[in-house]
Structure 1
Amino acid sequence: MFHRRNNSQHDQESNELYTESKIKELRAAIGPLSGRSLKYCSDDCLKRYLEARNWNVDKSKKMLEETLRWRSTYKPEQIRWDEVAMEGETGKLYKAGFHDRQGRRVLILRPGMQNTSSVENQIRHLVYLLENATLDLPKGQEQMAWLIDFTGWSFSTSVPIKSARETTNILQNHYPERLAIAFLYNPPRIFEAFWKIVKYFLDPKTFQKVKFVYPKNKDSVELMKSYFDEENLPTVFGGKAMLNYNHEEFSKLMSQDDLKTAAFWGSDDKPDGNGHI
């Protein structure tokens, strides 16, 4: 027994040393950084990019550099709630007030509640909430869980295929290893045709994290409930909690979080002609 435990401890130490060496190798490969790029590239961040590319330093370096270029132009950390608040009026996408059993942040998506037509603004809204949720993750936790409710979904409320591809590219290429699990709850049969196209945009790792849940399929329901406390899980997902999205209250929380975001990233923002940032 002691010998087995000792071997396990040895394996853990070996894995930690390997991880540290790969992180150092990747950091040396990307070279000196400054400003927000330096802040973004924490050891945990580099580890996620390495995991996403199976610990291949060259591939991880290429992926990370592409993200840094994207962040320098898209500036996701500078998006503020008042810019995307209109997108959130119906509660089609928001950060839940509970965590999963692993302490991960939960994003709730309700595509049937789509209320706008600008795909660009819809993506900015999603990126804003991803940035917000990642800054809000508990220490030592790098991932989040998604719950997707298909009540009211139809082709008329779905995003165009081109937009779905752009969205998945951003998620996979610039937020690697941020998704722990995604549960698609009770999608209508017509969604299967949409999914057959979208799934080809997903890399194998992401594809394995997407789970379909049907109320009449006991195994799929049990799998979802193994991730969530039934008392926290909203009734629309088969739990016991009422799902009540209050846009005004959520807006207050996001405005407070915007101050934390600005403090975290520093004052690289430049004021406009009216003195606003």
Structure 2
Amino acid sequence: MAQTYEQILTDRSRFYQMRGRRPQNQPKNDAAAQDTKVRELREALGPLSVRSLKFCTDACLRRYLEARNWNVDKAHKMLEETLKWRSTFKPEEIRWHEVAHEGETGKVSKANFHDRLGRTVLIMRPGKQNTASLEGNIRHLVYLMENAILNLPEGQEQMSWLIDFNGWSLNTNVPIKTARDIIYILQNHYPERLAIVVLYSPPRIFEAFWKVVKYFVDKKTNEKIRFVYPNNKDSVELMKKFFDAENLPSEFGGKATMKYDHEEFSRLMTQDDIKTTKFWGFDSNPNHDTNGYSKDQVVAKTLSLASPAT
């Protein structure tokens, strides 16, 4: 006798249960399973220093698990490498006055607006590249990544990137090695931090550079990268989905006017440095940074670096 549709589904479900597998359309308690893996990962990490414990929140562990398809062993290895990197690179100790010279042209900055989900937005202008220092470029970007994370709204783990190609050329482009090292740090030490990366109206010559760089980009990251062109209908709809046109700068097809003011940006970053110091608990005195400088000293030093030489 022919089986009914319901009987077919029931038999299929039993078959997968016997095989220890679950059909894709069968529901499961994802939350409970993920919570278990978070606990397993935390146990695998063992005792942590105060600073590492501050970093390894449950949300952090979830991001590393997500980056490794919820494989605890792989996520553990990845997170251990990050903790080693953070112990030597010390990204939370970088202060604006140490990297302000890298930001003089506004090649990377935090936007004064958020995307539609309230996420922090970083704006990149590779055409305004002003140094060839590998370490300087990386420290500057890492500083802004840490700052963007610090300014994410509660419950939000990701940020958006907007990349403006005005003025870009192979002469202003960062070397392949710098791009490779930056991609490695972002993918391995800031997993699941990117919601979307908009490459806005890149010139054709960029394709040659991208063909080389894309081999360093993993699948998960690559899926978040969007080539956006102002005359393309799908591109326009994509920008509308993620950004409010009233806030979006005209360089990205919006209605707002954007002008980078290095001195003003330096003031904002200096204020955030005090917040960073307080968050990480470096100094019992909230008016001092990790190097013992007072707030007034940091402001003065930053502004002296931000002001053009006479």
TM-score bracket for the superposition, by shorter chain length: over 0.9
1:252 to 254, 257, 267: 267
1:177 aligns with 2:192: yes
How much has 1:34 moved relative to structure 2?
1.8
Give CA-to-partner distance per residue, 1:231-252, whole Å, 9 cap, x none. Answer: 0110000100001111111111
1:237 aligns with 2:252: yes
Pairwise mapping of residues 192-271 of structure 1 onto structure 2 (< 5 A)?
192-267=207-282, 269=290
The match for 1:155 is: 170
TM-score, normalised relative to structure 1: 0.92
| Letter matched to residue 104 of structure 2 | E
| Letter matched to residue 111 of structure 1 | P
| Letter matched to residue 136 of structure 1 | N
1:17 to 32, 41, 51: 32
Output the CA distance in 2 between the equivalents of 1:238 and 1:253.
26
1:44 aligns with 2:59: yes
1:61 aligns with 2:76: yes
2:102 to 65, 68, 87: 87
1:133 aligns with 2:120: no
Root mean square deviation, CA, Å? 1.7
Kept in 1, the 8 Å contact 2:106–2:260? The answer is yes
1:108 aligns with 2:123: yes
Mind listing any 5+ residue stretches in structure 2 that lack a counterpart? 1-26, 284-289, 299-310
Output the CA distance in 2 between the equivalents of 1:30 and 1:211.
35
How much has 1:202 moved relative to structure 2?
0.6
| Letter matched to residue 258 of structure 2 | L
Give CA-to-partner distance per residue, 1:109-162, whole Å, 9 cap, x none. Answer: 000011112121011000000000101100000000000000000001111111
**Deviation >2 Å, runs of 4+:** 268-272
Mind listing any 5+ residue stretches in structure 1 that lack a counterpart? 1-10
Number of residues of Structure 1 aligned to a counterpart in Structure 2:
264
How much has 1:271 moved relative to structure 2?
5.4
Q: Which has the larger radius of gyration?
A: 2
The match for 1:187 is: 202
TM-score, normalised relative to structure 2: 0.82
Give CA-to-partner distance per residue, 1:153-195, whole Å, 9 cap, x none. Answer: 0001111111111000000000000000000001000000000
